[in-house]
Amino acid sequence: MTDSTCRRVTANLALTLDGRYNGPGGPGDFSAFAPYVTTEAARDHLTRIWEGATTAVLGRVNAEGFLGYWPSVAADENADPRDRGYARWLADTEKVVFSTTLTDAPWERTCVVNAPAARVVAELKATGAGDILVNSSASVIKALLSADLIDRLYLMILPEIAGGGQRLFDDGPHASKWRLTRQETGELGELAMVYDRVR
């Protein structure tokens, strides 16, 4: 199968100016990110991320957080329509969750996988239709970048220096070239950017 007939693999992540996807307090430290998640730019960016996707790929930690929070948003008539749209998509779409500890999926339309992310996503890429969205799960994104399987990056760059925390771009991924296909600046100085892999 040629690349033109394969599904596109996309990934989204928010990063601080120093390239962190969490703060110095560890994986649950999102204090630098909180002011930006409800801006107009962030909500519009979120809509672009999921609209073409038919499969959501998550690590276990994100799956537990997302699927513990978003279903209530889907049912909240007072929630922003863009948030409700994403919440409904997440509930309704096929989900693949990578975990070494879960044995059964506690969520509907979910397959739990204990296997290398690159192998599983390569198999998904060759079957079905629609984008495969790696949904803010940095460990999976890193593995797929190393295997050169990501075709599009949706990045939110936040005007904060976290000063500590985990980085997306450590040594490891092979050199690659990307083309900026969209950029939007939000009211707080955040940048919503879309990069496509140049192959």
- Percent of the chain residues past pLDDT 90, beyond the cut: 78
Give the tokens for residue 168: 């997306």
Instruction: Find the range with the poorest average confidence among 10-14, 149-153, 169-173.
Output: 169-173
pLDDT at 141: 95
pLDDT at 73: 92
For the chain, how many structural domains are there in total? Answer: 1
pLDDT, tens digit, 9 for 90 and up, residues 90-145 = 999 999 999 999 888 888 999 999 999 999 999 999 998 999 999 999 999 999 99
Tokens 């008539």 label which residue? 77
**How long is the chain?**
199
Q: For residue 131, what is the domain's CATH number?
A: 3.40.430.10
Q: Which structural domain, as residue segments, surrounds residue 30? A: 3-198
pLDDT, tens digit, 9 for 90 and up, residues 13-44 = 999 999 999 999 988 898 999 999 999 999 99
Confidence band (pLDDT; 50, 70, 90) for 2?
very low
Cα 131 to Cα 148: distance, rounded to the nearest angstrom: 16
**AA identity, residue 61:** V
Whether the predicted pLDDT of 173 surpasses 90:
no
pLDDT at 99: 94
In this structure, are strands 177-185 and 191-198 parallel, antiparallel, or unpaired?
antiparallel
